C-alpha cells in the first residue's frame, strides 16, 4: 500500500499503528489523509494478522490539530454537508471495526482530531496534549461527530462548554472529565498504549468484539433493547471454543490459549 500522508506498521503482537505524518501541518486532516485513513482501516479490519489498532501523530507537537482549513475556503453548503457525512462515516468505522482501537494523543488534538479520537475505543494522552473543539471560532460547528460523541463521553454541560467556547483543555482536565482514560509522560506514551492494548488482547477475541458491539448498540437505543442485545451476544459467546477454553483454563488454573473461534 502506497501512502503519502500516513505511516502504517503491524508489529509482532498484531497491533497495527497508523501514524498521521504531516508534522509541518500539525498532521491536519486533508482529503488525501482521510482517503488513506479509510484504506488503512479497511486493511486493518480485514487483515487477520491485525488484532488491534493504534492511532498517533508524527512529531511531538500534534496528534491531529483538526481539518485542513485551506480546503474549506471554496466549500459550498452542499459540499460541506457531504464532507461532514463522509467524515462521520469514516470515523464510524473506528467504532465498528470489531477490534480495539486506541488513540495515543501525543500533542494537539483539536477539531477533527478530537472527533476521531472520541470514535476510538480508548484514549491515552501525553501530559502536554491539548484537546478541544474550536470550530465555533471559525464560524462553523463540529461536523465529524463532535456534537454527538462529546456529550456521550463527558456529559451535556461540560460538552456544551467545550463546544461553545471552542477553548482547548489540558490532558489532565480531559482525564478528570473522562475524555481520556490515562495521562502519561510523552516519552512513555507509545509503550504505555501498546501495553494497554496487549492487556485487552490477552482476552478472547470474539468476546472483545461482542462486548464492543453490545456497548455501541446500548448507547444508541433504550435500556430494554440494549439488554436484549446483550443477552443475545452472551448466548453467542457461550457457543464459542474460546468460552470452553476460558472455563477450562480457569478451572485448571492455567493461562488460556484463545484462538478467536
**Domains in the chain: boundaries:** 6-201, 205-251
> How far is residue 119's CA from residue 117's CA, in Å, rounded to a whole number?
5
Residue 46 has pLDDT above 90, yes or no: yes
* Full-model pTM: 0.94
Do the domains 6-201 and 205-251 sit in the same CATH topology, yes or no?
Answer: no
Residue 72 has pLDDT above 80, yes or no: no
> How far is residue 106's CA from residue 184's CA, in Å, rounded to a whole number?
10
Percent of the chain with pLDDT over 90: 85
* Residues acting as catalytic residues: 115, 135
Is the CATH number of domain 205-251 1.10.12? yes
Question: Helix, strand or coil for residue 83?
Answer: helix
Radius of gyration of the chain (CA): 19
Query: What would be the CATH architecture of the domain defined by 6-201?
Result: Alpha-Beta Complex (3.90)
Q: Residue 1 — very low, low, confident or very high, per pLDDT cuts 50/70/90?
A: confident
What's residue 60's pLDDT? Answer: 87
Of the listed ranges 100-109, 207-216, 238-247, the least confidently predicted one is 238-247
Residues in CB range of 105: below 8 A, 6 or more apart: 56, 63, 117, 123, 124, 125, 126, 129, 131, 171, 180, 189
Taking residues 153-161, report their average pLDDT: 98
What's residue 37's pLDDT? Answer: 97
Amino acid at each position: 500500500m502506497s501512502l503519502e500522508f500516513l505511516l502504517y506498521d503491524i508489529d509482532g503482537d498484531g497491533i497495527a499503528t497508523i501514524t498521521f505524518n504531516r508534522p509541518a501541518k500539525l498532521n491536519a486532516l486533508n482529503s488525501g489523509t482521510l482517503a488513506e485513513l479509510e484504506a488503512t482501516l479497511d486493511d486493518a479490519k480485514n487483515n487477520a494478522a491485525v488484532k488491534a489498532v493504534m492511532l498517533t501523530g508524527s512529531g511531538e507537537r500534534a496528534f491531529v490539530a483538526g481539518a485542513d482549513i485551506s480546503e474549506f475556503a471554496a466549500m459550498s453548503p452542499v459540499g460541506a454537508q457531504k464532507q461532514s457525512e463522509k467524515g462521520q462515516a469514516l470515523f464510524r468505522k473506528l467504532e465498528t471495526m470489531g477490534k480495539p482501537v486506541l488513540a495515543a494523543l501525543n500533542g494537539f488534538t483539536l477539531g477533527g482530531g478530537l472527533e476521531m479520537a472520541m470514535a476510538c475505543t480508548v484514549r491515552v494522552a501525553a501530559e502536554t496534549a491539548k484537546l478541544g473543539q474550536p470550530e465555533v471560532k471559525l464560524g462553523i460547528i463540529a461536523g465529524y461527530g463532535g456534537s454527538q460523541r462529546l456529550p456521550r463521553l463527558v456529559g451535556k454541560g461540560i460538552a456544551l462548554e467545550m463546544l461553545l467556547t471552542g477553548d482547548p483543555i489540558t490532558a489532565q482536565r480531559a482525564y478528570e472529565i473522562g475524555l481520556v482514560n490515562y495521562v502519561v509522560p510523552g516519552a512513555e506514551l507509545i509503550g504505555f498504549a501498546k501495553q494497554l492494548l496487549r492487556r485487552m488482547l490477552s482476552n478472547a477475541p470474539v468476546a472483545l468484539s461482542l462486548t464492543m458491539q453490545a456497548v455501541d448498540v446500548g448507547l444508541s437505543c433504550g435500556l430494554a433493547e440494549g439488554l436484549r442485545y446483550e443477552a443475545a451476544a452472551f448466548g453467542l459467546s457461550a457457543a464459542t471454543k474460546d468460552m470452553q477454553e476460558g472455563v477450562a483454563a480457569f478451572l485448571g488454573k492455567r493461562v488460556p490459549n484463545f484462538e478467536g473461534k
